[in-house]
């Protein structure tokens, strides 16, 4: 994939993540505050102050996810973003992490 293609896909991913959390906030499912600066999206859980950080790494052509449970790297397989270690899907993992971290 070209750098331009990656940047477009990474931006779409960040937008989608931000929309998911804003929708959860609007529906009173999660009390979160989202802040985006360029290729970095910071999601803060208001109830406990913990954060999830999602950012793109153009040089590696990866999406990175950092949370209490650890750091994860994802490459696009042509369909979805897959964890480079266990092949798990990005949005599925993000959902699990958000539920765990938001409840804590």
Q: What pLDDT digit, counting tens, does each position of 36-86 carry?
A: 999 999 999 999 999 999 999 999 999 999 999 999 999 999 999 999 999
| pLDDT one-digit tens code per residue, 89-100 | 999 999 999 999
Query: From residue 4, how far is each of 48, 77, 78 by CA, in Å?
Result: 37, 16, 15
Backbone angles phi, psi at 27, to 5 degrees: -90, 10
Between CA 99 and CA 104 the distance in angstroms is: 9
The upper half-sphere exposure of residue 81, i.e. CA atoms within 13 Å in the direction of its Cβ, equals 25
Task: Output 28 or 58, whichever has higher pLDDT.
Answer: 58
The upper half-sphere exposure of residue 27, i.e. CA atoms within 13 Å in the direction of its Cβ, equals 7
Q: Say whether 76 sits in a helix, a strand or coil.
A: strand
């Amino acid at each position: 994939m070209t750098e331009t293609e990656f940047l477009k896909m990474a931006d779409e991913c960040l937008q989608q993540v931000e929309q998911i959390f804003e929708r959860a906030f609007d529906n009173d499912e999660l009390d979160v505050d989202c802040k985006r600066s360029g290729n970095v999206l910071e999601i803060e859980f208001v109830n406990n102050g913990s954060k999830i950080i999602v950012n793109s790494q153009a040089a590696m052509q990866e999406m990175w996810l950092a949370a209490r449970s650890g750091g994860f790297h994802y490459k696009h397989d042509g369909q979805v973003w897959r964890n480079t270690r266990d092949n798990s899907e990005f949005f599925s993992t993000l959902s699990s992490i958000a539920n765990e971290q938001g409840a804590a």
